Amino acid sequence: MLKDDLVKCPVCGVFTRIDKPELLTALANPEIRQQIENYVAQLVASAPAELASVATTSETRNFQTDVHNWNPTVPMWQRSPKE
């Protein structure tokens, strides 16, 4: 395997092989490579803020009120995990 066609992923750090010669020549250009690295860095930096806002919007459940909404005719072993 040639080392010239191996490229390191900036997100996960895994090396992969690029088959298309057009992409390899584009990545060999330092200007285009810098633009791609800046774009990926912006994406990686913005992702935790978006994930944190989604995680804080979850509602808390109250077991005492949920237990009274269960269907008593359904056996315990046939209930859904949400019950």
Range of the domain at 21: 1-53
Query: Chain-wide mean pLDDT for the chain?
Result: 75
Residue 15: strand, helix, or coil = strand
The per-residue pLDDT for 43 is: 78
* Residue-wise pLDDT tens digits, 32-69: 888 988 888 887 777 666 666 655 555 777 888 877 77
**Residue 18 belongs to a domain:** yes
**Residue 74 belongs to a domain:** no
The per-residue pLDDT for 23 is: 83
The per-residue pLDDT for 1 is: 37
**Residue 25 belongs to a domain:** yes
* Residue-wise pLDDT tens digits, 16-34: 888 888 888 888 888 988 8
Residue 7: count other Cβ atoms within 10 Å of its Cβ. Answer: 15
**Residue 78 belongs to a domain:** no
Name the domain count of the chain.
Answer: 1
Residues with Cβ within 8 Å of 1's Cβ and at least 6 positions away in sequence, in order, are: 17
